[in-house]
Structure 1
Amino acid sequence: MLTRKQIELLKLIHTRMEKDGVAPSFDEMKDALDLRSKSGIHRLITALEERGFIRRLPHRARAIEVLKLPDALGKTGFEAQVIDGGGSSKPAQPVQAMPVEAASLTLPVMGRIAAGTPIEAISEPMRDIAVPGAMLSGRGEHYALEVQGDSMIDLGINDGDIVVIREQTTADNGDIVVALVDDLEATLKRFRKQEGMIALEAANPAYETRLLPASRVKVQGRLVGLIRSY
């Protein structure tokens, strides 16, 4: 099953190929899908290629061949029903794991995120995972991460769980975010901003709050869902 963004990109490529005989540029894809960077387009292209929907032709610029379309889309029209994600309130209570339902979408698991000692920043997808469509909060790109560590256990986020993240660069006080520190290490913590400083709060008394200058912290996304591993 394809994600909403994968379907949108496949539709864009197919329509442009039918009209002009050439695929759109990565910049055009980025703008059309309202993504912040071309790295997101690269992930979508790779996912479509791995699933056999497109093929990139070597040594040729913008050379992409559409091999097939999802059955639900047919060859024209692109009228498939894709589940919309409802709005999500900020987690004031422990995060509740959500069962994976039949009506699900796939997201890339982009590596492990530290709920403890920060680990190296997220890089390449590890695998895909099915998540309930209702977990996807609002517009924007989503991805998943595997939790490593126990610093967020008091909010019900355990070692080995999968967290669903919506990509965004801002956060409100109290949000649980993926924070990139010094462009080197990534961690999952509660976010608070105070007088030019960022507090990254654990939800485990065994871990101290990290207080860092705002210039050293970049928000990479906000937690919108959790899948429990048993």
Structure 2
Amino acid sequence: MQLTRRQQEIYQILRDNLDHYQQPPTYDELCGLLGLKSRGSLHKHIQALVEAGLVEPMAGLKRGIRLVEPGAEEGIPYLGRIAAGRPIEAIAEAEPMQVPDQLLGKGPCYVLQVSGDSMIDDGIQDGDYVVIEQQAQAQNGDIVVALIRNEEATLKRIEQRPGEVILHPANPAMSAMVYRAEEVRIQGVLRGLLRSYI
């Protein structure tokens, strides 16, 4: 689920003020932080954050909500392998995997294992695990999970131009892949990397 700018702002305020409040802020305190006059409009945004799994209601308490920490003990979903070479499909296995909080983005995240060597000049090697923040937009130059023609997913550095998307490898032996804009959907942006030396 894609958050609106306002919902992202509310979530960021909750994260930024985690240490400030001994208990989660009340709706009135949140309204004050955001400059909102109505609790009604705030409630709609909070409900979207609950549905996204970023906050949870606190039953029976006036204070309403608290953050769901993304690095909680259950881990984040491991969704299989993704190509960093020729595109292959990312397969949903949804096993939980432990990831340090420092490697997580602000929104929901998942882990994929890299297959291939097209991103080696960016330090991403075959067998590495990448932590991806789930989102549908990216900045030019971001390393993204791109779904191509609703069939195959690949890990590449993205360049977006009017009407086209270019997916750049980080390996001089490989060529960039050029697609029509409607053929590519961004599924997330790289936030962290895990590697085993065993």
Contact between 2:74 and 2:96, CA under 8 Å: does it hold in 1? no
Question: What's the secondary structure of 2:86's corresponding residue?
Answer: coil
The correspondence of residues 65-84 of structure 1 with structure 2, limited to 5 A, is none
Aligned CA distance change for structure 1 residues 107 and 208 (closer, same or farther; 3 Å): same
Task: Deviation per CA, 1:115-147: give whole Å up to 9, x if none.
Answer: 001002x34225322110121121x21100000
The equivalent residue for 1:176 is 143
The correspondence of residues 96-135 of structure 1 with structure 2, limited to 5 A, is 106-120=75-89, 122-125=90-93, 127-135=95-103
The aligned amino acid for 1:147 is: V
The aligned amino acid for 1:176 is: I
Give distance in 2, aligned partners of 1:141 and 1:83.
Answer: 10
RMSD: 2.9
Contact between 1:142 and 1:166, CA under 8 Å: does it hold in 2? yes
Paired-residue identity, %: 46
Contact between 1:118 and 1:186, CA under 8 Å: does it hold in 2? yes
Aligned residues: 145
TM-score (norm 1): 0.56
The aligned amino acid for 1:201 is: H
Question: What's the secondary structure of 2:76's corresponding residue?
Answer: strand
For 1:33, which of 50, 74, 83 is the aligned residue? 50
Contact between 1:178 and 1:219, CA under 8 Å: does it hold in 2? yes
Give distance in 1, aligned partners of 2:168 and 2:96.
Answer: 29
Give distance in 2, aligned partners of 1:32 and 1:224.
Answer: 21
The equivalent residue for 1:48 is none
The aligned amino acid for 1:33 is: V
Are 1:228 and 2:190 an aligned pair? no
Task: Deviation per CA, 1:1-21: give whole Å up to 9, x if none.
Answer: xxxxxxxxxxxxxxxxxxxxx
The equivalent residue for 2:33 is none
The equivalent residue for 1:207 is 174
Contact between 1:105 and 1:133, CA under 8 Å: does it hold in 2? no
Contact between 1:146 and 1:163, CA under 8 Å: does it hold in 2? yes
For 2:108, which of 116, 125, 141 is the aligned residue? 141
Give distance in 2, aligned partners of 1:183 and 1:144.
Answer: 20
Question: What's the secondary structure of 1:215's corresponding residue?
Answer: helix
The equivalent residue for 2:57 is none
Give distance in 2, aligned partners of 1:83 and 1:185.
Answer: 31
Task: Deviation per CA, 1:82-118: give whole Å up to 9, x if none.
Answer: 7678xxxxxxxxxxxxxxxxx9761111010100010
Shift of 1:228: 0.8
TM-score (norm 2): 0.64
Give distance in 2, aligned partners of 1:124 and 1:137.
Answer: 20
The aligned amino acid for 2:101 is: G
